Every structure is written in structure tokens, then in C-alpha cells.
């Protein structure tokens, strides 16, 4: 399984050599700001599966939970690239779906933070919706 991608100006390139752990659509207010007014779409990959080339700019914030979140974007075109929690979840990188080359087999599997969505938002009725953060994943069976 390999995904490739790039930012809008082509300065940043992606190669991802694993399947995503989850793909989510997020309507939290901060994502709406970053995503031009609609939801963010994030595919969660194992950190070690990701190779990025090109200049990357960083921003970040502290979530309500106290977790430090980093956001990376292309300094040349502003394209949102990644979100991650380097201390709390160093093994995961959330790749913004827009940078991945199409066609691909990725689609959101759940909609989160519908409680912060604007009144005009429409959600795919075929996938689960959560008003805020999604429930924690079930513990591994083994």
C-alpha cells in the first residue's frame, strides 16, 4: 500500500507506505478555520510510514485536554499538510486528505465534532457521527 501526494504549489511531496488507521471528517471550529470553512479530512498513518520532502512550516496549539498539537503547512502556498501530537501520540501522523494524489481508496469513516458544524453542513448518513471527539478505540484483543 503506497500513497503519494503534494501541496498545491508542488514544493512539498509525500510518500506513505502503509494503510491508514482511520480516516475522519472533523467539523471542529479550529478545523473549519484551517479548512476554508468546511471540515478537515484527516487520514491517520503510522509515523514511520511517512516520508515528506520540501520545506515545512509549523504552527500549533494546546487542545482542551492539555495535549500539544502541531500543525504543519507549506510555507509557500499555505496548503495544510499534517496534524500530530508529538508527545501524546508520537506514533501517529494525521495527513490532510487534500494533499494525497487521486484517485485513492480513502474516504471518511466517521464525522466528528458535528456539534460545532454550521447550520448548513450536510453529513454522509452512511457513516457514524459524533457531536464532539470520537470514543476511544476499543482495546486490542490480543
Applying CB under 8 A, the residues found at the interface with another protein are 7-9, 25, 29-42, 57, 59, 61, 71, 73-80, 96-100, 102, 107-108, 118-120, 122-124
Cα–Cα distance measured from residue 112 to residue 109, given in angstroms and rounded to the nearest whole number: 10
Nearer to Zn ion, 11 or 44 (CB): 11
Cα–Cα distance measured from residue 39 to residue 23, given in angstroms and rounded to the nearest whole number: 13
User: Which of 41, 44, 45, 43 lies closest to 124, judged by CA?
Assistant: 41
Q: Which does 11 bind (CB under 5 to 8 A by kind): Zn ion, another protein, none?
A: Zn ion
Nearer to another protein, 52 or 79 (CB): 79
Helix (H), strand (E) at residue 31: helix 29-34
Residues that bind Zn ion (CB under 5 A): 7, 9, 11, 26, 28, 31, 74, 76-77, 79
Amino acid at each position: 500500500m503506497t500513497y503519494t501526494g503534494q501541496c498545491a504549489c508542488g514544493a512539498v511531496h509525500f510518500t506513505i507506505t502503509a494503510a491508514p488507521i482511520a480516516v475522519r471528517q472533523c467539523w471542529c471550529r479550529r478545523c473549519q478555520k484551517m479548512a476554508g470553512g468546511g471540515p478537515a479530512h484527516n487520514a491517520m498513518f503510522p509515523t514511520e510510514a511517512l516520508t515528506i520532502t520540501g520545506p515545512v512550516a509549523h504552527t500549533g496549539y494546546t487542545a482542551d485536554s492539555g495535549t500539544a498539537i502541531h500543525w504543519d503547512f507549506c510555507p509557500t502556498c499555505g496548503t495544510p499538510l499534517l496534524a500530530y501530537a508529538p508527545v501524546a501520540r508520537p506514533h501517529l501522523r494525521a495527513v490532510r486528505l487534500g494533499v494525497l494524489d487521486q484517485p485513492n481508496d480513502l474516504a471518511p469513516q466517521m464525522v466528528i465534532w458535528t456539534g460545532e458544524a454550521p447550520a448548513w453542513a450536510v453529513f454522509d448518513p452512511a457513516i457514524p457521527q459524533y457531536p464532539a471527539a470520537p470514543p476511544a478505540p476499543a482495546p486490542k484483543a490480543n
